[in-house]
Structure 1
Amino acid sequence: MSSDLELAGIIPPLVTPFDANENVDIEKLRAEVRFHLTLGVHGICVTGSTGDGQMLSCEQSVEIAKAAVEEVGGRIPVIAGIIRDSTAEVIRYGKALKEVGVDALQVTPVHYLFQPDEATTLDYYRRITEETGLPVIVYNVIPYALIPATTVYRVLQEIPGVVGVKQSGGNIHHLADLLKAAPTGGAILTAVDDLLYPAYLLGAQGAVSATLTVVPELCVEQWHAVQNGNHKTALEIHNRLLPVWRSIDGPNMTVRIKTALKLQGRDGGLGAHPLTPVSADEESTIRAALVEAGVLGA
């Protein structure tokens, strides 16, 4: 792991606010960055899945990352996600993002249409790190192109520029396999939202997941409780977080997340087509979950 980049703790993946014309609303993004900074998060991630990264042009990704880097001002790491389906495109995005000063890239494997084998996966991440010159976090999320724990281990051990993995797909069993293997080449971060607390107990060094964006104050509190050995508090927060995750996990997920922000007085902007606004019933479910979590009055 790079000596000047620490990946640990609570790293919320921010939403990308869109306006009515489906342009990125940079001022709303900046406000979200400032909000998270006041809560003491340990990093932020932009243009990932929660940020609709798969929809964004290179120019939009750069605009978003530039704003985030400016707001953060070097206080915590800024990670930029890239969700593309060719090595050349990932490198093109990565080089452009490097110019605005992001600290690391979060990169999915290629996933349409065929799953790469182990040798191809290693070569893919090696080329990205070498040609962009930036640290890379493996974003292991694609259900039908899940990178096996044995391959992730090799990527972390054999490619110096890979500094971590965000283990999302494959549930906690894949995360447990990876943690048991105990690679020394980078941080293992969890994105299994309903099992953040157990993941920390198993040894995950932090989290990058949607729940952190919706209720960062609870997630920061839980992280510190675990670090201080206060497991009663950590478990109590786990049970408050669970209904929040259940309420946002589903179709149009990023719009659900933006609805959860709106209900708390934050403005994550609109969704971009084909994502559709949530129904009245869905909003009611999200509201009830936030009330149960104690972050919204009844």
Structure 2
Amino acid sequence: MAQAPKVELTGIIPPLVTPFDAAENIDIAALRAEVRFHLAAGVHGICVTGSTGDGQMLSVEQSVTVARTAVEEVNGAVPVIAGIIRDSTAEVIRYGSALKGTGVDALQVTPVHYLFQPDEERTIEYYRRITEATGMPVVVYNVIPYALIPARTVYRVIQEVDLVVGVKQSGGDIHQLADLLKASPSGVVLTAVDDLLYPAYLLGAAGAVSATLTVVPGLCVEQWNAVAAGDHKTALDIHNKLLPIWRSIDGPNMTMRIKAALAMLGRDGGLGAHPLTPASEAEKAAIRAALVEAGLLPL
């Protein structure tokens, strides 16, 4: 059976936004700057073309451009994960095969979600076919609310598909995350339950890949290090700073809210792709208030 290439997925792994220019092309300069910013913050990995990166809107060519740019900028310093959000096994394999050529370390793959959910055996076969066709390590991205993969199926996928190296548990379901962590499968369990990052680490999560990390990677690295050092007062204090930030960016237009937050912090997340709804003035005010409360912006 195939053995997964060595890849260590642990700690703070921010999912980057995809900056677009006015013509809805990838703004490569802005993307490079964001990668450099995150590396300087001490992150342990980079994820591109996921939900926070509008991966569902990207062509295979755009996905390759983003992934290749990130890999070049990272230059081996940390692992790079590339997300795939497609609705058929064939399309995931097409994207995965193209992304393999960019030098990314792993793929992050959602289940199919429009319109009908496959059963357990087909879900396992889905990930097996993807890994066999691409030869790439895969993280199961368990995020789709109406196509959430049950914990027992995730266990089986990790145990039965050699190149599946872990799961990113999202969708706001701390109960499923707790079930996955209790089972302690051989693969890595990463959290994307943003309002409960701190307790997820205490329960044994190997790290996080979530939107809050994208906005304030420095604070998230500081919290991760505090937990590792047993400094729970600092970790809890940071949790209370992160929570309002997450509440302010959480919403149907999340990637646009994140880009608004980046702009307030002096970073360039680029424009959004049509028809994403820009952050409203009320949303921007809530974001600014959260950043002020966290001590990241002046009053």
Aligned to 1:230: 231
How far is the alpha carbon of 1:170 from its aligned partner?
5.1
Task: Report what 1:220 is aligned to.
Answer: 221
Q: Residue 33 of structure 1 aligns with which residue?
A: 35
* Aligned counterpart, 2:285: 284
Equivalent position of 1:258 in the other structure: 259
Distance in 1 (CA, whole Å) between partners of 2:212 and 2:172 is 18
Aligned positions of 1:3-42 closer than 5 A: 4-42=6-44
Paired residue type of 2:226: A
Q: What are the superposed Cα offsets for residues 121-165 of structure 1, whole Å, 9 maximum, x if unpaired?
A: 000000101100100000000000000000001111111100010
CA distance, structure 2, for counterparts of residue 130 and residue 242 of structure 1: 40
Separation in structure 2 between the aligned mates of residue 245 and residue 291 of structure 1, nearest angstrom:
13
- Deviations 1:240-278 (Å, cap 9, x if unpaired)? 000000000012110000000000000000111111221
- Report Cα offsets for 1:88-125 as digits up to 9, x if no partner: 00000001000110000000001111111110000000
* Superposition pairs of residues 56-205 of structure 1, within 5 angstroms: 56-169=58-171, 171-184=173-186, 186-205=187-206
2:242 maps to what in 1?
241
| Deviation per residue, 1:72-95 (Å, 9 max, x gap) | 001100000000000000000001
Aligned residues: 297
Q: Unaligned 5+ residue runs, structure 1?
A: none
Q: How far apart, in 1, do the equivalents of 2:256 and 2:35 lie?
A: 18
State, as a whole percentage, how many aligned pairs show the same letter: 78
* Runs ≥4 residues deviating over 2 A: 1-4
Distance 2:210 2:4 in 1: 22
Whole-angstrom CA distance in 2 between matches of 1:62 and 1:19: 17
Cα distance, 1:182 vs. partner? 1.2
For 2:153 and 2:298, locate their aligned partners in 1 and report how far apart those are by CA, in whole Å: 46
AA of the residue aligned to 1:19: D
Code of the aligned partner of 1:153: Y
Tell me which residue corresponds to 1:293.
294
Counterpart amino acid of 2:231?
N
Which residue matches 1:273? 274
Work out the CA distance in 1 between the residues paired with 2:69 and 2:244.
32
CA separation in 1, counterparts of 2:198 and 2:172?
17
Separation in structure 2 between the aligned mates of residue 239 and residue 171 of structure 1, nearest angstrom: 20
Q: Tell me which amino acid in the other structure corresponds to 1:89.
A: E
* C-alpha displacement of 1:279: 1.4
Give yes or no for contact 2:5–2:137 (8 Å, CA) kept in 1: no
Distance 1:73 1:23 in 2: 24
Say if 2:86 and 2:112, in contact at 8 Å, map to a contact too.
yes
Using the TM superposition, give the Cα deviation of residue 3 of structure 1 relative to its aligned residue in structure 2, in angstroms.
Answer: 6.2
Q: What secondary structure sits across from 2:185 in the alignment?
A: coil
Q: Matched residues in 1 for 2:5 and 2:69: separation?
A: 25
Structure 2 gaps, min length 5: none
Distance 2:275 2:182 in 1: 40
AA matched with 1:152 = V
Instruction: Say if 1:118 and 1:151, in contact at 8 Å, map to a contact too.
Output: yes
The one-letter code sitting in structure 2 at the alignment partner of 1:241 is L
How many angstroms does 1:2 deviate by? 4.2
Letter in 1 for 2:162: P
CA contact (8 A) 1:172 1:192 kept: yes
Q: 1-side partners of 2:74 and 2:177: how far apart?
A: 30
Aligned amino acid, residue 252 of structure 1: N
> SS in structure 2 opposite 1:51?
coil
AA aligned opposite 2:216: V
Is 1:46 the counterpart of 2:10? The answer is: no
The AA in structure 1 aligned to 2:23 is N
- Give the 3 Å change call, closer, same or farther, for CA 102–15 of structure 1 in structure 2: same
